[in-house]
Amino acid sequence: MTTNVYQLTAKEKRFIGWHFIVAVSALALGSLFGPFQAMEHAGWDFYEKFLNPIFHSYYAGLTLHGVLNALIWTTFFITGFLTFTMIFGLKRPLRYPKLNQVGFWMMVVGLVTASIPILLNQASVLYTFYPPMKAHPAFYIGVTLVVVGSWIEGWGFYLTYYQWRKEHPNTRTPLIAFMSLITMVMWQFATLGAAAELLVDLIPWSLGLRAGLDPQLDRTYFWWTGHPLVYFWLLPAYMSWYAFLPRQAGGKLFSDSLARFSFWLFLLLSVPVGFHHQYVDPGVPSGWKTVHSLLTYSVFFPSMITAFTVVSSLENAGRKRGGKGLLGWIAKLPWNDPSVLAQLLAGILFFFGGIGGLINASYNINLVTHNTAWVPGHFHLTVATGVTLTFMGILYWMVPYLTGKELWCKKCAVIQVWLWFIGMTIFSNAMHVVGLLGAPRRTPLGQAPYIPEEWAGHLLRVGIGGFILLISVYLFVAVVIGSLFTKKLEKEVEPPVADSLLDPQTTPRWLDRWVPWLVGVVILLIIAYGPQLVYQISTAQFTSPGFRVW
């Protein structure tokens, strides 16, 4: 279709492939513990019976699950995927590939450094690591190295883009490269909070260089990063829905300019919203909580644009395949293609996750859901399905693309995706319900003395859902590993980048200019966070020593 497609070199593919190897390994180990938690709720405690000598507690397992799945699987997958979309989008190699390699290896070193104390039960502080619970310093240092490594890979992208821009002064930035850059820039604004928390507070404190911390201030730093972290996971999935899925389904992207517009809004609105995770915090005035709740709701707007554009693009594809009538096009979509199926089902469950998110963000309604099992129920629809199932779908075309070998057992992949959808529907629904009834999150409910008997049925569904997901995730790992040993493809996979219905050159220039938008991001951050940061820092009481409570 398009000529002059830059073909990635074997070396570039290997580099991307390493990201995915680490990502899938993290998912494989981390996902083992999710179902153990779920089955504990149902009354089947594997920790007590089998795991105790190696994994000392429910919380060592929960920390591994959170860190490996939410932080490592995502970050490694995303940096690998963005490396591909930058190179393939700009049709040129990275400007300084060595710089990106440094970033990648720093992430690997960080992962190993953080994993050792977790495995030795020296850092069972969960992936939110709220002080004054104190982990081994290696945990904080490792997490920092992962983040800084991802920044360095981002800088490699910026320098590549800068070079491309010099060579193509009047061309619109190719959509997938544009979206990759937005994702990285957003991430770098987002991680400033965690950087402050880790570098100024947690690392010196865990090393004994600081006597005490102000836990409220650290919560504010953490949630500066904690919410946009969600968008760091989501934007690459959106990129796949906008720019790959239409082509995979046989159609075109409905609107290039609205896709870009929504990404600018995500950049603008992802970060200045962190207080919506702190609605019930004692140290944040309710006025500022209201400001952040309204800003959070504004994200609804680009999400709606995304929903429209993605569904219209799919309709375009379905009609081209012969779909008729109002809804007939839906049946014509290639539901038997595991990569398409994964993304469609991810989108369906993500829709419900989005509605739950609106409920969580609704200021005082959050009192009903905060810190209940509803919350993990919610984010297993968003990050663990909307994002994770999409990433699995991407790998279903990308593994054959990178290795040049065909996907092993396509039918297994289709079954895997359906199992994920079914398991997650059962698990997540039960978690939402039991959360509304008052069950706390992060709690081995099988041991809690205050659990009424009426919850037993829901907790059983939590366990059943978790068990189905366990089967699904290892089927996924089996398909990926199996695909390394299949026969060579006769024809190389062509990356399914969708064309847009209108030439991107007709997209207005203001959607391809960085400075005004970046200024907007900074101004909005100063408005939304400035006064409270100044207040919380100037009145901070660094009185909390560290505690080891596990």
Residues 215-244 binding another protein (CB under 8 A) are 215-216, 219
Among residues 441, 474, 535, 542, which one is catalytic? 441
Name residues contacting another protein, limited to 248-277 (CB under 8 A). 254-255, 257-258, 261
Q: State the nearest-atom distance from the C-beta of 371 to another protein, in Å.
A: 4
Among residues 65, 247, 370, 380, which one is catalytic? 380
Is residue 317 within 8 Å of 251, Cβ to Cβ? yes
Name residues contacting another protein, limited to 66-125 (CB under 8 A). none
Question: Contact between 207 and another protein (CB under 8 A)?
Answer: no
Is residue 75 within 8 Å of 106, Cβ to Cβ? no
Is residue 99 within 8 Å of 155, Cβ to Cβ? yes
Please identify, using beta-carbon distances, which residue of 124 and 248 lies nearer to another protein.
124
What are phi and psi for residue 133, nearest 5 degrees? -70, 130
Q: CA–CA distance from 15 to each of 7, 182, 379 (Å)?
A: 14, 22, 30
3-state DSSP call for residue 490? coil
Token pair of 107 as six digits: 């992430």
Q: Please, is 519 exposed, middle or buried when counting C-beta atoms within 10 Å of its C-beta (0-12, 13-18, 19+)?
A: exposed
41 catalytic? Reply is: no
Number of residues that bind another protein (CB under 8 A): 74
Q: CA–CA distance from 193 to each of 21, 201, 220, 464, 525 (Å)?
A: 29, 11, 8, 38, 12
Type of residue found at 500: S
Calculated CA dihedral for residues 156, 157, 158, 163, nearest 10 degrees: 90
Type of residue found at 381: L
370 catalytic? Reply is: no
Token pair of 522 as six digits: 């900074």
Name residues contacting another protein, limited to 457-496 (CB under 8 A). none
Question: Contact between 511 and another protein (CB under 8 A)?
Answer: yes
Name residues contacting another protein, limited to 319-358 (CB under 8 A). 358
Q: Which of 6, 10, 14, 130 touches another protein by CB under 8 A? A: 130
Please identify, using beta-carbon distances, which residue of 91 and 168 lies nearer to another protein.
168
Q: State the nearest-atom distance from the C-beta of 258 to another protein, in Å.
A: 7
Please identify, among the stretches 25-33, 67-75, 135-143, 285-293, the one whose residues bind another protein according to the rule CB under 8 A. Answer: 285-293
Among residues 104, 231, 263, 275, which one is catalytic? 231
Question: Contact between 284 and another protein (CB under 8 A)?
Answer: yes
Question: Contact between 304 and another protein (CB under 8 A)?
Answer: yes
Q: CA–CA distance from 361 to each of 168, 356, 368, 391, 438 (Å)?
A: 42, 9, 11, 26, 18
Among residues 41, 378, 432, 458, which one is catalytic? 378
Name residues contacting another protein, limited to 133-172 (CB under 8 A). 133
Q: State the nearest-atom distance from the C-beta of 26 to another protein, in Å.
A: 22
Question: Contact between 456 and another protein (CB under 8 A)?
Answer: no
378 catalytic? Reply is: yes
Is residue 266 within 8 Å of 230, Cβ to Cβ? no
379 catalytic? Reply is: yes
Write each residue from 409 to 448 as x if it is in contact with another protein (CB under 8 A), else as -, in one continuous string. -----------------------------x-xxxxxx-xx
Among residues 139, 263, 350, 379, which one is catalytic? 379
Q: CA-CA distance, 307 to 299, in Å (whole number)? A: 13
Q: CA–CA distance from 190 to each of 62, 172, 507, 525 (Å)?
A: 24, 26, 28, 10
227 catalytic? Reply is: yes
Q: Which of 365, 415, 422, 524 touches another protein by CB under 8 A? A: 365
Token pair of 48 as six digits: 């007590």
Question: Contact between 44 and another protein (CB under 8 A)?
Answer: no
Active site residues: 227, 231, 378-380, 441-442
